[in-house]
Amino acid sequence: MNKAETFLVNSGPRRLLQRFYEAPLLARLGGRVPGGRVLEIGCGSGYGTRLILDRFGAAAVDAVDLDPGAVEAARGRLAGYGERVRLAVGSATDLRGALEAEDGVYDAVFDFAIIHHIEDWRAGLAEVARVLRPGGRFYFDEVTATALNRPTYRRLFDHPDEDRFTAGDFLAELPRHGLYADERWQTRIGGDYLLGVAERRGAGAVGRAARDRTG
């Protein structure tokens, strides 16, 4: 993430938006996670982690980010939560390496604007699905190719150039990993932003989705 995006993501207006608009919308779409064991990918400086604990009611949050500086900032912000929070530097595409996360161990996974940073974003979704238990929920708040291809975004920020996803691409990919958003999603600003919640369904549902794709 370049300096301009780091500044914007950590700015007051963005925090207000995340707290009073994005998190309440996600809670309306997917409900809270009281007492849940939750993973946050790309936690940045930990502001979203705090929302997951305080607003969504998680009992414990494991959070991972590629950027050691961001994880250090998160450590400071979240120190008061003690053992309820576990932070790690590492990639959302290798949660075994970062957090020793086994299959199906989380009740929910949160993605506050990170998957569009991952070159192989499909691998990111596969890893989310792997660590969610059946019936667990994936909360996503994403920036799409529609936004990333706009001149302002191109000029100011730095994102993977290849294989960007539109809202439709992202929604179509979810069931390939056993993640089903059904009607629980919304786009904003002409498809620039996609927010939603997908449920992890069992291996039978994944098999059926694969058969549907191959006709």
Ligand X SMILES: C[S@@+](CC[C@H](N)C(=O)[O-])C[C@H]1O[C@@H](n2cnc3c(N)ncnc32)[C@H](O)[C@@H]1O
The C-alpha torsion from 173 through 33 and 142 to 196, rounded to 10°, is 60
Q: Residue 146: which of 92, 194, 101 has the closest Cα?
A: 194
Cβ 81 to ligand X, closest distance in Å?
Answer: 17
- C-alpha–C-alpha distance, residues 132 and 58, integer Å: 15
6 vs 166 by CB, closer to ligand X: 6
% helix, strand, coil for the chain, step of 5: 45, 25, 30
Cβ 60 to ligand X, closest distance in Å?
Answer: 18
- The DSSP string of 53-119 is HHTS--SEEEEEES-HHHHHHHHHHTGGGGGGEEEEES-TT-HHHHH---TT-EEEEEEES-GGG-T
Tokens found for residue 97: 């390496």
CB atoms closer than 10 angstroms to residue 140: 28
135 vs 160 by CB, closer to ligand X: 160
43 vs 125 by CB, closer to ligand X: 43
Q: Residue 186: which of 65, 26, 41 has the closest Cα?
A: 26
Cβ 212 to ligand X, closest distance in Å?
Answer: 29
Binding residues for ligand X, rule: CB under 6 A, are: 1, 5, 9, 41-44, 47-48, 64-67, 70, 91-93, 112-114, 117-118
66 vs 179 by CB, closer to ligand X: 66
30 vs 201 by CB, closer to ligand X: 30
Cβ 195 to ligand X, closest distance in Å?
Answer: 12
73 vs 167 by CB, closer to ligand X: 73
Q: Residue 133: which of 64, 203, 85 has the closest Cα?
A: 203
Cβ 29 to ligand X, closest distance in Å?
Answer: 17
Tokens found for residue 48: 């979203």
Cβ 47 to ligand X, closest distance in Å?
Answer: 6
